[in-house]
Amino acid sequence: MLKKGFMSFIVLVIALLAVSCTQPPEEERKLAEKAFRDAALAKDCDKENYVAAEELLNKAREAYAKEKNDEAKELFIKVKEKADAMLEYYRTHPDECMPKKEVVVQKEKKVVEMDKDDPANPDMEFPLIHFEYNKYEIRDEDEAYIKRIYNWMTNFEEAVIRAEGHADERGSIDYNMALGEKRAQAVKKALVMLGIDANRIKIISYGEERPVSDGHDEDSWYQNRRVEIVKTNF
Amino acid sequence: MDFRTRLISAAFFIVIFTVSSLSAQLVGEVNQGGFEDYSIAAQDILNSDGKESELSKELTSTLRKDVELTGFFALLNPKGFLEAPSIDLDVKDFKNWLNIGANGLVKGFVKEGKESVLEIAFYDVAKGKKVIHKQYTSSPEGMRMAVHKFVRELVLILTGETINFISSKIVFVEKNAGAYSLVTTSFDGSDRRVLYSSNSIIALPSWSHDGNEIYFTSYSTGNPYLYAINRKTLKTRIIAGYEGLNTSADASPDGNSIALRLSRDGNSEIYVKNLKNGSLTRMTKNLSVDTAPSFSPDGKQIAFVSDRSGTPQIYRLFIDNPSRVERLTAQGNYNQDPEYSPDGKHIVFTGRDEYYRFDIFLFDLESRIILRLTQNQKKNENPSFSPDSRLIVFSSDRTGKNSLFISNITGNRQILIYSGNGEVITPSWSPELEELK
């Protein structure tokens, strides 16, 4: 009875082994094929893995065709793992992996709504630095803006900027050119003091020639007394 | 243009019919009477058919503008005239002119043709005599100059003074919808000519010593460099292209150098650039703004603007010893754009009053008194002297947009001479440009 039972166990094990060795790995094949098809989404952003997965899959198909079932099964499992990893990468890196058109839309939205003030954003919008009438000292309330420009320049070390100084319409064309230059210099100096290489900051003055507001009141004048930062090589 | 003007000048054929012996007696009368006491009626100039024409109307307006501009006389309003214009220059009856209070009368007519002929006369109304009677022959384009010459003659006979600007020009910047033009006109605002146009900034023109070139700053390369443009050939050449601002050139009286503002050392400073060998001499050295240089006529001093006291003020430095600097303006806390008069007696400048209004002021170097030339007429800026130091051109927005006005040095007579399509700014008056026959 015991012997018979033992024998049956052996037979069962052998049978199981025989099944596992001889049966084609249908399940693994289906899973691998599907995973690979799905992973095609990530084809562009994870090309290396995609090519590797494709190679594996071709080998697996070959083994499967030649009924090298064990080898085929192992390969199909590897294909699935690879494809799953690609899909995971795709899910966690939508910016890189989404189809191009959608990427643009998404990116723009993101910049406008979230990142325009973020120094980590290469397209950060530079804050305007404003000045008091006939003055070229940076006001306390603008220190945070200077810091933001500094942070951006630290994040993008190759970038060179131009500080463009402007004056309001009052006073002479001649003197206002000097005033605009002094203001641009003040911004440059503040950034250099924080540690930015002076060679990365060009300056120019447009005097009163490039107003942003055409009005003749204090509000317009305030808007026009400014330094604008422009990226020159980025 | 100027070549043509020269031809016109050469082609002038002037006939003097009479120069009354009265003229000698008249000399001095006008000056003794003071400004505007000597009133002149300038009758409409007609063509030889006794009618108005385009040319005759232009000559009439030129005549009236000249009489006003010279600053010696009061011009009577033609609406008050009791007599219709005519081509009869043999005036016998002066009753109609006496009745409207005219001291002097000008009448003339123009015979139009390829060679036009202007016949024009001046009469002393009180004495009932013709004093000047002249005939000028030139192309129609040269006829305005004939009127200028006649008025110069008139001033000489009545006052003994020689007006010395009838061939001079005014250069300025005209801004229209973001486009910049460098423009010249003759001293009376006629003969507009664009020398240079650009969508980039053009600023702060001034004349070379001989009047052949105009210095100006252009941003055409992206940077504010100083150029010179020949007013005849329109060829430009770079004068200063240092890092930073290269602006505000002022020619030295001997023509050998220019004073200018450079910020190559990180801050606006006054330099003198030798035009012969290109050498630069730095005149100011401090952390404040120093700009807008103007040579004194003896070439020994430079007036300039500095904010070393905290606000822009007028100073002068002595070229032999640039560290010797004298502050000229103590009144007002915002004074800019100084220019020496060619006779060395005055410095004209733009000042801001306690109501934050910009006006033209005159600093008398001998008495050190400051005279205000404009007031309550909106914004007035960028004054520049005529070659004879009698008149000042400046820009004013009193008509709603910046236009050019001419004032005498007392400020009691101000005349609009040019109003362009856009904003007209930063005028600079040339030296007298060529000798006239």
**Which of A48-52, B95-99, B212-216, B292-296 bottoms out in mean pLDDT, i.e. has the lowest?**
A48-52
Three-state DSSP state, A124: coil
CA atoms within 13 A on the CB side of B397: 14
Question: Residue B304 is which amino acid?
Answer: F
Q: What is the pLDDT along chain A (234 residues), one digit of tens a residue?
A: 555 566 665 555 555 544 445 688 888 888 888 888 888 777 777 777 888 888 888 888 888 888 888 999 999 999 998 888 888 888 777 666 665 544 444 455 544 555 888 999 999 999 999 999 999 999 999 999 999 999 999 999 999 999 999 999 999 999 999 999 999 999 999 999 999 999 999 999 999 999 999 999 999 999 999 999 999 977
Report CB contact under 8 Å: B203, A207: yes
B367 Cα distance to chain centroid: 25
pLDDT at B137 over 70: yes
Distances (CA, A) of B96 to B5, B45, B60, B63: 38, 18, 20, 21
pLDDT at B322: 87
Tokens for A49, please give them: 């893995």
Question: What is the pLDDT of chain B when averaged over all its residues?
Answer: 90
pLDDT at A33: 87
- A205 near B CB under 8 A: yes
Rounded distance between C-alpha atoms, residue B217 and residue B208, angstroms: 14
Rounded distance between C-alpha atoms, residue B358 and residue B376, angstroms: 10
pLDDT at A62: 87
pLDDT at B320: 94
Tokens for B265, please give them: 């050392």
Residue in A with minimal Cα distance to B335: A171
Higher pLDDT pick, B33 / A52? A52
Q: What is the DSSP letter of B287?
A: S
Mutation target among A168, A170, A173, A214 for the B interface, most CBs of B within 10 A = A173
Chain B residues in contact with A171 by the CB 8 A cut-off are: 312, 334, 336, 352, 358
Chain A residues in contact with B332 by the CB 8 A cut-off are: none
Q: What is the pLDDT of residues B163-209, one digit of tens each?
A: 889 999 999 999 998 899 999 999 999 999 999 999 999 999 999 99
Report CB contact under 8 Å: B261, A204: no
Q: Give the minimum alpha-carbon distance from B425 to chain A in angstroms, rounded to a whole number.
A: 9
Mutation target among A172, A188, A204, A217 for the B interface, most CBs of B within 10 A = A172
Report CB contact under 8 Å: B336, A209: no
**Which of A38-47, B321-330, B362-371 bottoms out in mean pLDDT, i.e. has the lowest?**
A38-47
Mutation target among A164, A175, A204 for the B interface, most CBs of B within 10 A = A175
Judge contact between B267 and B289, C-beta under 8 A.
yes
Tokens 């909106």, located at residue: B378
Distances (CA, A) of B250 to A206, B213, B254: 21, 12, 12
Judge contact between B288 and B307, C-beta under 8 A.
yes
Burial class (CB in 10 A: 0-12, 13-18, 19+), A49: middle
pLDDT at B125: 95
Higher pLDDT pick, B37 / B363? B363
Judge contact between A195 and A201, C-beta under 8 A.
no
Judge contact between B427 and B386, C-beta under 8 A.
no
Phi first, then psi, for residue B6 (nearest 5°) are -65, -40
Judge contact between B379 and B400, C-beta under 8 A.
no
Residue in B with minimal Cα distance to A172: B336
Rounded distance between C-alpha atoms, residue A116 and residue A122, angstroms: 9
Chain B residues in contact with A203 by the CB 8 A cut-off are: 244
Which residues sit opposite A157 in a β-bridge?
none
- Number of residues written out for chain B: 437
Rounded distance between C-alpha atoms, residue B115 and residue B370, angstroms: 49
pLDDT at A233: 79
The interface pTM score, or ipTM, of the predicted complex is 0.88
pLDDT at B378 over 80: yes
pLDDT at B31 over 50: no
Of the candidates B190, B207, B211, B192, the residue with the CA atom closest to the CA atom of residue B66: B190
pLDDT at B20: 45
Report CB contact under 8 Å: A204, B201: no
